[in-house]
Amino acid sequence: MRLIRCALLMAATGLSLSPAVGVGQDSELDEIVAVVNDGLILESEMEGAIAQVRQRAGAQINNVPDEVVQSQVLEQLILRKLQMQRAQRAGLDVSDSELNQAIGRMAAQNGMTADQFMSSVRAEGLSISAMRERLREQILIDKLKQREIAGRVVVTDEDVDRYLESESLRVQENREYRIRHILVSVSENASQSTIEAARDRVEELRERALADDSFSELAVAHSDGQNALEGGDLGWLAGGFLPTLFSDVVPRLQPGEISKPFRGPSGFHLIQLADVRRTDGQQTVAEDSVVKEYQARHILLETNEIRNNERAEAEAERLRKRILAGDDFTQLARENSDDASSANQGGELGWLQADSMSPPFAEQLRSLKPGETSKPFRTDSGWHVLQVQDTRQRDLSQERRRQRARQALGRQKMQEESEIWLRKIRDEAFVDIRLEGFQDS
C-alpha cells in the first residue's frame, strides 16, 4: 500500500513519528545523548528516529555500521532541535487552523477527505497526536526558513536567461534522471586547509565508490546532505528542473557513472547517475498557451454606512445611463469611483485575463464586446460598471516559461542557501554530544 503523503513528508525530513521526549518528562531511565544549547536529545528520541530510518531505507543501509547510522540520525535531530529553538525565540507559531489546512491539503493530494486521511494515518499504525505535532514542527521550520533565508534568494533576469539557454539541451530528449548525491560541506569562513581537507575527503569517497563501495552506503555514512539517510537519493528529476549546480554534470553521465567532485556554495559535491528514462515531454518548462486578454476600465461603488447595497446599485445604474448617453467614462470614473488604484487613471485597468479575476468580473469580461458597457454587477468589493475597450490574443508560452524557470531557480537557490544556513547555525551553537562512538562527519 502506498504510504500516505504525510508519512512521506516526515520521512523526507528525517522525522520519527513516535512522540518526542522532552526535558519536562520523566527521563530517569533515558540517557542524554546530546545537549543542544538549553535543550536535550534523549536516547529514546534517537532510537525512535533510527527505527524509522531503518524501516524507510531498508537494505541499502544494512551494511552501514550502527554507530554511523546513530551518528547521522543524531546530527539530523540536532539540526532540527536548533531550528525549533530558533523558531521559538523568533516568536513563530502555528495555529490549529493552519495545521488543519495543511492536513486538508495533504488529504486532497491523496484524493481523500480529512476523515479518510486520518483513518489512513491510523491504519498505518501512526499516532494522530504525534503526526500533528511533527507536522506543526515542520511548518514552523518552513516559516523560519522563509523568514531567515528567503530574503537572500535573488533570481535575476540574467539568471533566467542563462537557465533557459541551457534548458533546451537538458530537455531536448525529454529525460528524467535518478540521482544520488554526496555533500561534503564547507563553512563560508573555512580556512584554506579546511577546504583542502574537504576536497581530499570527497576525492577519497569517489575512489571508494569507484572501487565498488556502495554509493548509497557512503552517502549514509559520510554525506552532509539533507538526503544522506536516504542513501543520498534525490529521486527522479526532470531534465528541465535539475538543480543549477548539477545541470552541466548530470546529462553527461551514463547510468551508474560517478561524477568528478565539483564545488558549490555549500561545499563539495559528488553525483551518481543511478538511472535515466525518457518521458512524454510533459515536464518541459515550455508551455504553448494562447489566452484572450481584455483591455477594460470600470467604476467601483463601495457599500458603507451611508451608501447601502440598494443605493450603490442605483447609483451604478445612474452612471451607466450617463455613459450610454455619451458622458465621458474617464471623467465619471475620476469623480465617482471608489477604486483608488484606478480612479485617477479614469478607471483604466489595463489588459486583463478573465481567469485571474473574480467569477462575476470574469463573466462580464467574457460577455462584453469592445465598446460595450455592462449593467451594474456586484463583487465582494462593491458594485461595478465595466467597459471593455478592446481584446487581443496573447501568446504567453515564453512568459510562462520564464516564470517557471524563475520558480525552479528560486527553489534551487533556496536549497543551496538552506544548506549554508544550517551549517552556520550548527557551527554557532553549543552542542555537547554524549553518544558513545559518535562519528562527526
Q: Which domain holds residue 295?
A: 290-395
Question: Given strand 290-301, what is the order of strands in its sheet?
Answer: 348-353, 290-301, 382-395, 377-379
Within-domain flag for 157: no
Statement to judge: residues 404 and 305 lie in one domain = no
Cα(386)–Cα(380) distance, rounded to whole angstroms?
Answer: 15
CB 438 within 8 A of CB 74: yes
Q: Give the model confidence (pLDDT) of 334-348 as tens digits.
A: 999 999 999 999 999
Q: Give the model confidence (pLDDT) of 393-408 as tens digits.
A: 988 788 888 888 888 7
Statement to judge: residues 249 and 108 lie in one domain = no
Within-domain flag for 438: no
Q: Give the model confidence (pLDDT) of 340-388 as tens digits.
A: 999 999 999 999 999 889 999 999 999 999 999 999 999 988 999 999 9
What does each C-alpha distance from 249 to 213, 258, 273 come to in angstroms?
22, 10, 10
Statement to judge: residues 405 and 377 lie in one domain = no
Within-domain flag for 440: no
Place of cell 581537507: 197
Around 396, how many Cα atoms within 13 Å sit in the side-chain half-sphere?
11
Within-domain flag for 52: yes
CB 17 within 8 A of CB 130: yes
Query: Percentage of the chain surpassing pLDDT 90?
Result: 49
Q: Give the model confidence (pLDDT) of 192-213 as tens digits.
A: 999 999 999 999 999 999 998 9
Within-domain flag for 113: yes
Q: Give the model confidence (pLDDT) of 278-307 as tens digits.
A: 765 444 444 447 889 999 999 999 988 888
What does each C-alpha distance from 261 to 162, 200, 215, 258 come to in angstroms?
23, 10, 14, 9
Assigned C-alpha cell, 178: 535518478
Statement to judge: residues 344 and 429 lie in one domain = no
Statement to judge: residues 119 and 9 lie in one domain = yes
The domain that holds 427 is classified in CATH as 3.10.50.40
Q: Give the model confidence (pLDDT) of 229-260 as tens digits.
A: 888 998 888 776 677 788 889 888 999 999 99
Residues 6+ apart with CB under 8 A from 122: 128
Once rounded to an integer, what is the mean pLDDT over residues 297-325?
93
Q: Give the model confidence (pLDDT) of 266-281 as tens digits.
A: 899 999 999 998 765 4
Ranges 133-142, 168-177, 399-408: which has the least confidence: 168-177
Cα(398)–Cα(406) distance, rounded to whole angstroms?
Answer: 12
28: pLDDT confidence band, cut at 50, 70 and 90? low
Statement to judge: residues 259 and 114 lie in one domain = no
Ranges 73-87, 175-189, 272-286: which has the least confidence: 272-286
Statement to judge: residues 425 and 387 lie in one domain = no
Within-domain flag for 164: no
CB 257 within 8 A of CB 272: yes
pLDDT at 280: 59
pLDDT at 170: 53
Statement to judge: residues 327 and 241 lie in one domain = no
Statement: residue 2 has pLDDT above 60? no
Per-residue 3-state assignment (H helix, E strand, C coil) for the chain: CCCCHHHHHHHHCCCCCCCCCCCCCCCCCCCEEEEECCEEEEHHHHHHHHHHHHHHHHHHHCCCCHHHHHHHHHHHHHHHHHHHHHHHHCCCCCCHHHHHHHHHHHHHHCCCCHHHHHHHHHHCCCCHHHHHHHHHHHHHHHHHHHHHCHHHCCCCHHHHHHHHHHHHHHHCCCEEEEEEEEEEECCCCCCHHHHHHHHHHHHHHHHHHHCCCCHHHHHHHHCCCCCHHHCCEEEEEEHHHCCHHHCCCHHHCCCCCECCCEEECCEEEEEEEEEEEECCCCCCCCCCCEEEEEEEEEEEECCCCCCCHHHHHHHHHHHHHHHHCCCCHHHHHHHHCCCHHHHCCCCEEEEEEHHHCCHHHHHHHHHCCCCCECCCEEECCEEEEEEEEEEEEEECHHHHHHHHHHHHHHHHHHHHHHHHHHHHHHHHCCEEECCCCCCCC
Q: Give the model confidence (pLDDT) of 89-121 as tens digits.
A: 999 999 998 998 888 888 888 888 888 888 888
Statement to judge: residues 63 and 117 lie in one domain = yes
Within-domain flag for 182: yes
Statement to judge: residues 47 and 144 lie in one domain = yes
Statement to judge: residues 305 and 178 lie in one domain = no
pTM beyond 0.85: the answer is no
The domain that holds 117 is classified in CATH as 1.10.4030.10
Within-domain flag for 154: no
Beta-bridge mates of residue 193: none
| Tally of structural domains, the chain | 3
Statement to judge: residues 189 and 299 lie in one domain = no
